[in-house]
Amino acid sequence: MQRKISQDPLAPEFSSESVQVVSRKTVFKGFFTMLRLRLRHRLFRGGWSHIFERELFVRGPAVGVLLYDPERDQVALTEQFRIGALVRAAGPWCLEVVAGMVEEGEDLQEVARREVQEEAGLQVQELHFIHSYMPSPGGSSERLHLYCALVGLSGAEGYFGLEQENEDIRLRVFQADRLYKAMAGDFGPGENPVDNAATIICLQWLALHRDQLTGR
């Protein structure tokens, strides 16, 4: 039987109903959870796949917030230790946007404002939605919601984070143009590159909307 293909080029051919989960087992539960699933799904060429196994890294939604001062054309990024960057050439202290996990039932914008206060000690003047995306859908359930917060960055650099959450955060302030160059690969030996997806996406958004935010 021939399947009916939507004329909308962005419409997906399948939905979650086109997946059959045969079994689901928790193989690890600590700071994060790992599941092992046995499943099958429909195929583009017709019929169903064989039953196969996949591990799923279970991580809930999170927010990421770019801190921007339109009067000074400055951006603030956090610098902190990241276990996943142990073998990174520049070392495991990464430059990133403010970020935090969202608990069930929490409002995304409220979480964004709270994380800005905890990780940067700043009050948000305006909050602009950037995008929502899945960082690694091939093996993780995480969805990241990105925002740009307009803040005042005069004298903003300092040390922040919650001790009970083992956070040791340094807030760094940069001219926006310098970060655009670093994002494009213009950084020298000993400099910390901008090399994580959330920060790059936020800076690209800022490059497109900077004139609007500054009122130029």
Residue 1 pLDDT more than 60? Answer: no
Q: What pLDDT is stored for residue 8 in this prediction?
A: 83
Could you tell me the pLDDT band of residue 44, with boundaries at 50, 70 and 90? very high
Confidence of residue 5 (pLDDT cuts 50, 70, 90): low
Q: How far apart are CA 102 and CA 109, in angstroms?
A: 10
165 is catalytic: yes
Using CA atoms, how far apart are residues 68 and 173, in angstroms rounded to an integer?
9
More confident residue, 21 or 8: 21
Predicted pLDDT at 39: 97
One domain for residues 51 and 77: no
Biggest CA–CA distance in the chain, Å, is 67
Confidence class for position 190, pLDDT limits 50, 70, 90 = confident
Mean per-residue pLDDT for 101-130?
96
> Is the residue at 8 inside a domain?
no
138 and 52 within one domain: no
- Count of domains forming the chain: 2
Examine the domain organization and report whether 175 and 144 are in the same domain.
yes
Q: Which two tokens stand for residue 29?
A: 């539960």
Judge contact between 150 and 69, C-beta under 8 A: yes
Which is catalytic among the residues 55, 165, 167, 191?
A: 165
pLDDT band at 140 (very low <50, low <70, confident <90, very high): very high
Could you list the residue range(s) of the whole structural domain that residue 92 is in? 62-214
Show the tokens assigned to 212: 């609007």
For residue 4, pLDDT beyond 80: no
From the list 198, 190, 202, 102, the residue with the least C-alpha distance to 149 is: 202
126 DSSP β-pair partners: 150
Q: Contact, 175 vs 73, CB < 8 A?
A: yes
